Amino acid sequence: MGGRRARTMTVMSDTGRAGTTGFRSDRAAHGERPPAAARSGTRAEPPAAPPAASPPSGWSDRRIAFLVGIAATALGLAGIWIPSYWGDEAATLMSARRDWASLAALLGTIDAVHGLYYAFMHLWIDLVGTSPFAVRLPSGLAFGAAAAGLYLLVRTRADRGTALVAASVLAMTPRVTQAATEARPLAFATATAVWLTLLLVRLLDGRMPRAWWWAYGAGVAAAGTLNLYVLLLVPVHAVAAIMHPARRARLGAFAGGVGVAAVLAAPIMAAAVSQREQIAFREDQEVVTLTGVLVGQWFMLVSLAVVAWALVVAGVVLALVHRADPAWAGRRWLLAVALAWIVIPTTVLVAVTALVTPAYTPRYLVFCAPGAAIAIAVAASALRRGWQRALIVVAVAALALPAYVDQRTPYSKNAGTDWQDVSATVERLAEPGDGVLFDEGVRPSRRPRLAMHTYPDGFAGLRDLGLVRAHDRTDGLWDVTAPLAEVVDRLRGIDRVVVVSRSERGADDDIRVLLEAGFVERERVQLESDVVRSFERRPLSAGSREPPA
């Protein structure tokens, strides 16, 4: 009798520690056994979350996470070969094809923040080629990894149903599904953000060796080279550490990990500051809008955004209602981290844009979408039955479906980029030895010239009349060109020229030179966004001489 009372008093004392009661009650609510230390009466502080218990079927959380990743990867990869490449993907391809010396020169002047990704893609395309599916495949795999990691992250504090809702919502969030279709580092940044947060939680819970704090710091720094803005996870993680029950024992280790990250990330941050002029063009644009933040940042569709934000608010309200309920302690902690993930990076970038320089771009904050998915899952966790939670997932899927389908149509990128069609049309209209001219009057990401770099087969054997210096012979992203009037001598010996334009009057000056040189328009093909026109030199009449070029 006395021994039982002593054990009871010990456990009561143990559970009296801040926050621990709630996490233990959360485990009881999920049908999990308390740690052995608690059962034996040992006063050693238990970790904030237990290893996941396996149901009788033997399905471990790792196995479920793996299946979640496979399903999400299949969802992400479906149809990724259909859309035409666009300007940012052209930058990826053109950078990845450079030799190492040329790539180093490029990163010394621009795009250093994507250097790790470009280096990886250099190796990748050497192995698999440059077909749209092959080049976008890594993004689809990263998309699946993000969903799997989010399942494991939520599972550290909540039941499997809640974790599945979070992973499912993330895998259907339009900005995330779009990242899966692009040969850009945004899907990698999202996956890295999720797995770094999971690593942090395991470190805070004391389930990883202390040496892994060094790996955490190195991982944060590496993530900054995929997307500089991922470094804004550090204050989010600080919130997670401060609100953790073991904060007194872990804050010092967390500070050390952040210190490692700061040292390793210093070069990339310095490079980003020195290259900030590459986004200077946004000074003339309305960079931050309410619609951009609430809709464009993750949800992209107004109807989905309304429902999603309503669920986020519902999650907050439910957490407040259950603020004294120990069974909600784990979910309250998850929600706090999720809200920090949603709010802090966005607020920082909006403030920097307002006070210093343009820094906000909605799609660059895709790595914060997991926070929204967690908040929605917390709201769904209040529903007791699995089919009720499934209805929320189905509703999100139905609302997101139009965006998902549209992202996998031929002209879905950058207001209708159609470079696949441009290449095919040029191949039909021109023959080896003919000349080609491109409209240079639009912004770099829309220049028709990039069709030649993304779908080169249609341009094989053609003479690029406006090229002065190829991009890989410069320290910039793009080719250096000149108007035809400055290189008119290149028309000698050419009887057919194909002109590709996107802006309404962007190629007028070059066409005027062609007409003066004796060319006439033979065919005009209007594509989704670009126009391809074929010009031939007028045949000379008997006794006449060829007009001067």
Q: Are residues 437 and 382 in the same domain?
A: no
Instruction: Confirm whether 139 is domain-assigned.
Output: yes
Instruction: Confirm whether 192 is domain-assigned.
Output: yes
Structure confidence at residue 275 (pLDDT): 73
| Mean pLDDT, residues 168-177 | 98
Q: Are residues 179 and 258 in the same domain?
A: yes
Q: How far is residue 482's CA from residue 468's CA, in Å, rounded to a whole number?
A: 6
**pLDDT tens per residue across span 349-360:** 999 988 888 889
Give the closest residue to 437 by CA, choosing from 526, 486, 480, 501: 501
Q: How far is residue 342's CA from residue 345's CA, in Å, rounded to a whole number?
A: 7
For residue 437, the SS3 value is strand
Q: How far is residue 247's CA from residue 229's CA, in Å, rounded to a whole number?
A: 26
Q: Out of 339, 371, 406, pick the residue that ends a domain.
A: 406
DSSP H/E element including 420: helix 419-429
Residue 102: phi and psi, rounded to 5, are -65, -40
**pLDDT tens per residue across span 425-446:** 999 999 999 999 999 999 888 9
Give the closest residue to 197 by CA, choosing from 338, 92, 11, 66: 338
**pLDDT tens per residue across span 459-473:** 999 999 999 999 999
Structure confidence at residue 59 (pLDDT): 83
Q: Out of 363, 383, 406, pick the residue that ends a domain.
A: 406
Highest mean pLDDT range out of 3-12, 55-64, 78-87? 78-87
From the CB of residue 464, how many other CB atoms can be counted at a distance below 10 Å?
A: 17
Residue 418 has pLDDT above 90, yes or no: yes
**pLDDT tens per residue across span 180-231:** 999 999 999 999 999 999 999 999 999 999 999 999 999 999 999 888 999 9
Domain residue limits at 398: 68-276+287-406
Hey, what's the torsion of the CAs at 215, 220, 222, 223, to 10 degrees?
Answer: 140
Buried b (16+ CB within 10 A) or exposed e, 96-129: bbbeeebbebbbeebbbbbbbbbbebbebbeeee
Residue 304 has pLDDT above 60, yes or no: yes
Structure confidence at residue 26 (pLDDT): 46
Residues 231/271, Cβ–Cβ less than 8 Å: no
Instruction: Confirm whether 162 is domain-assigned.
Output: yes
Q: Out of 348, 373, 406, pick the residue that ends a domain.
A: 406
Structure confidence at residue 279 (pLDDT): 57
Q: Are residues 36 and 175 in the same domain?
A: no
The whole model's pTM is what? 0.87
Instruction: Confirm whether 126 is domain-assigned.
Output: yes
Q: Are residues 238 and 117 in the same domain?
A: yes
Residue 25 has pLDDT above 50, yes or no: no
How many domains does the structure of the chain reveal? 3
Structure confidence at residue 272 (pLDDT): 80
Residues 494/514, Cβ–Cβ less than 8 Å: no
- Between 6-20, 274-288, 293-307, 401-415, the lowest mean confidence (pLDDT) is in 6-20
Structure confidence at residue 388 (pLDDT): 92
Q: Are residues 8 and 110 in the same domain?
A: no
Residue 84 has pLDDT above 60, yes or no: yes
- 499 forms beta bridges with 437, 533
Residue 47 has pLDDT above 60, yes or no: no
Structure confidence at residue 412 (pLDDT): 96
For residue 498, the SS3 value is strand
Q: Are residues 332 and 462 in the same domain?
A: no
Q: How far is residue 186's CA from residue 175's CA, in Å, rounded to a whole number?
A: 10
**pLDDT tens per residue across span 248-300:** 889 999 999 999 999 999 998 888 877 766 655 455 566 789 999 999 999 99
Residue 57 has pLDDT above 70, yes or no: no
Q: How far is residue 433's CA from residue 424's CA, in Å, rounded to a whole number?
A: 17
Structure confidence at residue 286 (pLDDT): 67
Structure confidence at residue 517 (pLDDT): 95
Residue recorded with tokens 């008119």: 488
Structure confidence at residue 133 (pLDDT): 97
Residues 187/93, Cβ–Cβ less than 8 Å: no
Give the closest residue to 395 by CA, choosing from 383, 406, 407: 383
Q: Are residues 73 and 157 in the same domain?
A: yes
Q: How far is residue 387's CA from residue 392's CA, in Å, rounded to a whole number?
A: 9
Residue 312 has pLDDT above 50, yes or no: yes
Average pLDDT value for the chain: 88
Instruction: Confirm whether 146 is domain-assigned.
Output: yes
Who contacts 381 (Cβ-Cβ below 8 Å, separation ≥6)? 158, 159, 161, 162, 165, 331, 389
Residues 537/514, Cβ–Cβ less than 8 Å: no
Instruction: Confirm whether 413 is domain-assigned.
Output: no
Q: Are residues 144 and 267 in the same domain?
A: yes
Instruction: Confirm whether 521 is domain-assigned.
Output: yes
Q: Are residues 477 and 434 in the same domain?
A: yes
**pLDDT tens per residue across span 487-513:** 999 999 999 999 999 998 889 999 999
Structure confidence at residue 276 (pLDDT): 67
Q: What angle do CA 237, 240, 241 make, to 5 degrees?
A: 90
Instruction: Confirm whether 52 is domain-assigned.
Output: no
**pLDDT tens per residue across span 219-261:** 999 999 888 999 999 999 999 999 998 888 899 999 999 999 9
Structure confidence at residue 37 (pLDDT): 40
Residue 455 has pLDDT above 50, yes or no: yes
